[in-house]
Structures are given as structure tokens and as C-alpha cells.
Amino acid sequence: MKHALRLLLSTALLAIGPAHAAGASEAEALHAIDRLSLGAAPGDLKHVMDVGVDRYIDEQLHPERLPLPQALVRRLDGLATQQLNQRELVARFRAATQAAKDDSAAGKAQRRELVQQLALESGETRLARAQSSPRQLEEVMVDFWFNHFNVYSGKGLVRVLAADYEREAIRPHALGRFRDLLGATARHPAMLFYLDNWLSAAPGFQPRVRRGPAAKAGGLNENYARELMELHTLGVDGGYTQQDVSELARIFTGWTLGPRGRGGDGDDRDDEGLFRFDARRHDAGTKRWLGHEVAPAGQAEGEHALDVLAAHPSTARHIAFKLAQAFVADEPPPALVERVARRFRDTDGDIRATLKALFDSPEFRDPKARDAKFKTPWRYVASTLRATQLPLDRLRPLLGTLNQLGMPLYGCQTPDGYKNTEAAWLNPDAITRRVAFATALASGKLSGAPPVDADALLGTLGGGISARTRAEVVQADPKLQAALVLGSPDFMRH
């Protein structure tokens, strides 16, 4: 057994190159599955080979046509914290925080229990959807956009709002229009809190109350304005200046939070959530931004800025590059990026239409693109769950694995989010940790389920597992065969 384990680890460390597909039609199907989903589940390969790649792409581009399994619906509906709205989440968090400040063991336990329940149930939501939802492209794009518009769950209120942010701001627009997605993230309290725009106020602002969010202001804060242009829209080389950052920050003064639904004069509050526009905090002066004058118009100034940024050619190029990098290659061909950017502009930021152009491109269909991507830890864990269909009865070990692999759920501290490139994740320590996870999962130690059947697993993955790896699997101890598959370099690529 020790020899087989050494073989597993050495094979994974040394044979990093792309796996070889078994056949052309199967190879095309596997490539589509690998890129448009989080990994092949039992029956996926046969389905795509039967209906064809184009039909599969069309199915995935229209997730509303794919009903969710009732078992998944019931599971999601049974997660209590995921049914709470923003006000309820924040109210519970503040109550628990206040109880913890009393310095009593009971108060601290209450806060810890709330945070742990939220983390566990939001993790269950993500993992269950990843494993069982037929809307796999939607799951891929939710992960893509969350990283693009990243918030960090370790910061204050974001701890209880990150899952709501994904559910209310990201998921509904993941295949919709970029401008709608941009606006939803801009107004969500998780983003407002994470990048401190809720504190931003015009010079000389004096709050009328002494306690609560309405009492807090720290002058002009440029954090959101900077990341909005650098990361969310134009890109680092998008043609803006530091002065543009400052002026955009002035435009977004007054975009803040009202957890208790209170506001002063000129308060425009979203009754469905925590966002509100506070006219008293807003800098009402004229701004000079991106070469044109922005007249005083209150909240409409911010909406205008989002309109301009969403339609900007630099935004189209920035988004096109990131999409091509995620779906084609870490260094995507410039000609492909330009064509995808043109489609983004021509369709007014229609994400579905932009993706269709990307998937129809010769570069996406090129055999050289197959297995060119190295799975992120999230994609690696999700793909094991899809391939094995093990019951999600023990969530903590799975979430702990994401932590150990360096990609805790909602845990990226920096606003640029997790990377999806090979350079970010491929290293000997990461491979060793993945092999350990594969061994524990395949043996049943991690899930409590019976050991994974290697033959069934190989049938699910088809030609995605090379002849070389299959030969090594056959020769290994039967108890380690499934681990050899899941820990192979073939399975770590997509």
C-alpha cells in the first residue's frame, strides 16, 4: 500500500502535462463539459455526445429551462439562515455581537454559533448546487463573477452578508446584462461595507445621531471608486487618472447603509435591503470625471457613472480578457479577446450573447485548448463531488479542505478575488494536499460513505483520464484505484 501511495504522489507531481482524450467526438464533449461545468457527473458524457456540443452549450446558456431536482430544492429550502433577508441577518448579527460584548460565555457562544451556522449553510448551498444542479454554467459564472466583484467574509458585516450578496447581487445576473450586475453589486451592503463606501461623505458632513451607522463617516473614501474602475470595469490600463478616482468617489458619496431603516432628510432607502442614498452625506458639487462634467443630481450621478463604465470600450476589453482566460487559456489569443469584446459592446453587455460568441470561436473549439486549464481548489473539490456523487452529509471536512487548499469559500481578502490561472495554484505543496484529499475522499474516510468505485468513476470521466493513468490504476491496489484517478494530473486539469 505504501508503494501505491508513493506512486500516486510521484505521478501527480511529475506528470503535470495535459491529459490525452480518447476519441474526437468524446474529446469534444469532454472539453465542453470541462469548461461549461464544474466537472462531469454520471451520464453527462453520454448526454453531450448524444445531443452534440452546440445543443449542450445552448442548454447551459439558458439555465431557466433546466428545472432543479426536487431533492436539491428541498435541501436548499431547508437551510434556515439562507432564507433570511439582509435586515434579519444584520439584526441577528448585531444582537449576537452585543451579547458577546457582555463578556459572558453564553453571549460569546451565541455569536459563534450564528457565524458558524451561516458559514456551514452557505457552504452547503454552494456545494449542493455545484454537485447536483443541472445549471452548471450558471454555477461556473456565479463563481466567476463573485471573484470579479469580490467581497471578503472576514470583514465585519460581510461575515453574515456574503452569501446574500452571491444570492441577490451575483446569481440573478450571472448570465444577464453586465450593467444590471454592476448596479446590483454597487448597491449591495456587502460591497458598500467591504470597500468602505458606506463611510464616505462630503467634507464637513456632521451626522445628526450619535450612535449606529448613520453616525459614522470618515470623509471622502476612495476605496470603492478605485476598485470599481481598476477591477470591476475599465481595468488597470483603462485610461483613467487618480483625479478620476477622486471625482468618482465624490460621485458615490451618500451611497450608504441603513440597517435599522432610519434616515434623515433626503433619505432614499431600499425597503427590501439595507442600501440607502443619504443626500446629506452626498457631495453636491459639480464633478469633472473621465473628461466630462457631471452635474449635481444626487443618486443619479452614481447611476450615470455606472452607465458610462458599463458601456466603456476598456470595460469590454477587460471583461473579454477575463472570460477568455477563464474558458480558453491563461494567456488567451489577443484576436479572440478583441472579437469577444466587440460582441460585448455590440450587445450592450449581454453576458449570454458574449459567452455564446466565445464558445462558438475557433479558439475555444481548438484541440490545443483541451486540458489547458489547471483546476482551482474550488473547481477541484466540486469536480470530485460531481464525479463521485458522494452524499453531502459531512460538510465541515469539505469546507476545511477548501481552506487547506488555499481557497476558503468567500475568503479572499483582497478585492481582486481568487485567480483562475495555473501559476496561482500549481505547486508541490498544493499537489500533495490534493492527493491527500483524493485519498481520504475515495476511501470513504472523509464522507463516511462506502469507498468510491473506480470502474464507475472511470466510466463517468471517460477519455478525460488518459491511457497512461488507466494502466497505473489497473495495476494498483483496488483500495487505492479511485484515489489514483482523483489524484491524477489528468483529473486536476480541465
Q: What is the pLDDT of residues 38-65, one digit of tens each?
A: 999 999 999 999 999 999 999 999 999 9
Measured in degrees and rounded to the nearest 5, phi and psi for residue 154 equal -85, 0
Does residue 9 have a pLDDT over 50?
A: yes
Q: Which of the four pLDDT bands, split at 50, 70 and 90, describes residue 16?
A: very low
In a domain, 421, yes or no: no
Buried b or exposed e, range 82-109, using 16+ CB within 10 angstroms:
bebebbebbebbeebbebbeeeeeebee
DSSP state of 69: P
Per-residue pLDDT tens over the stretch 328-350: 999 999 999 999 999 999 999 99
Cα 484 from Cα 60, distance rounded (Å): 31
Per-residue pLDDT tens over the stretch 395-439: 999 999 999 999 999 999 999 999 999 999 999 999 999 999 999
Cα 179 from Cα 438, distance rounded (Å): 40
Average pLDDT, the chain: 92
> Does residue 430 sit in the same domain as residue 442?
yes
Q: Which residues fall within 8 angstroms of residue 271, CB to CB, at 6 or more apart?
A: 261
Write the Ramachandran bin of 295: left for phi over 0, alpha for psi from -120 to 50, otherwise beta: beta
Q: Supply the range of the domain harboring residue 346.
A: 313-369
Per-residue pLDDT tens over the stretch 206-253: 887 655 555 566 799 999 999 999 999 999 999 999 999 999 999 999
Identify the pLDDT of residue 214: 52
In a domain, 60, yes or no: yes
> Does residue 28 sit in the same domain as residue 80?
no
> Does residue 85 sit in the same domain as residue 47?
no
**Total domain count, the chain:** 4
> Does residue 95 sit in the same domain as residue 31?
no
In a domain, 161, yes or no: yes
Per-residue pLDDT tens over the stretch 135-144: 999 999 999 9
Q: Which of 5-19, 119-133, 263-277, 378-392 has the lowest mean pLDDT?
A: 5-19
Identify the pLDDT of residue 20: 36
Per-residue pLDDT tens over the stretch 256-295: 998 553 433 344 444 558 999 999 999 999 999 999 999 9
pTM: 0.92
> Does residue 117 sit in the same domain as residue 208?
no
Cα 185 from Cα 223, distance rounded (Å): 15
Does residue 130 have a pLDDT over 70?
A: yes
Cα 163 from Cα 399, distance rounded (Å): 15
Identify the pLDDT of residue 108: 80
> Does residue 330 sit in the same domain as residue 361?
yes
Closest CA to 28 of 365, 374, 461, 386: 365
Identify the pLDDT of residue 212: 54
Cα 391 from Cα 49, distance rounded (Å): 27
Tell me the DSSP string of 244-311. HHHHHHHHTTTEEE-TTS---TTEEE-TTSSEEEETTTS--S-EEETTEEE---THHHHHHHHHHHHH
In a domain, 398, yes or no: no
Q: Which residues fall within 8 angstroms of residue 147, CB to CB, at 6 or more apart?
A: 412, 417, 418, 420
Percent of the chain with pLDDT over 90: 84
Identify the pLDDT of residue 109: 85
Cα 310 from Cα 477, distance rounded (Å): 56
Q: How distant, in Å, are the alpha carbons of 34, 238, 312, 315 from that of 290?
A: 40, 11, 11, 14
In a domain, 182, yes or no: yes
Write the Ramachandran bin of 67: left for phi over 0, alpha for psi from -120 to 50, otherwise beta: beta
Identify the pLDDT of residue 265: 37
> Does residue 284 sit in the same domain as residue 329?
no
Number of alpha carbons in the 13 Å side-chain half-sphere of residue 318: 21
In a domain, 382, yes or no: yes
> Does residue 385 sit in the same domain as residue 458?
yes
Residue where a domain terminates, one of 287, 311, 335: 311
Cα 291 from Cα 300, distance rounded (Å): 18
Residue 3: Cβ-neighbour burial (10 angstroms; 0-12, 13-18, 19+): exposed
In a domain, 414, yes or no: no
> Does residue 442 sit in the same domain as residue 452?
yes
In a domain, 402, yes or no: no
Distance of CA 193 to the CA centre of its chain: 18
Alpha helices in 292-450 (DSSP H): 299-311, 313-327, 334-346, 351-360, 362-365, 377-388, 395-404, 422-425, 428-443
Buried b or exposed e, range 332-342, using 16+ CB within 10 angstroms:
bbeebbebbbb
Distance of CA 253 to the CA centre of its chain: 28
3-state secondary structure of 348: coil
Give the residue-averaged pLDDT of 143-170.
Answer: 97
Cα 484 from Cα 474, distance rounded (Å): 10
Residue where a domain terminates, one of 156, 172, 192: 192
> Does residue 41 sit in the same domain as residue 88?
no
Give the residue-averaged pLDDT of 87-100.
Answer: 89
> Does residue 199 sit in the same domain as residue 292?
yes
Instruction: Work out the widest C-alpha separation in the chain, in whole angstroms.
Output: 76
> Does residue 269 sit in the same domain as residue 242?
yes
Give the residue-averaged pLDDT of 162-184.
Answer: 98
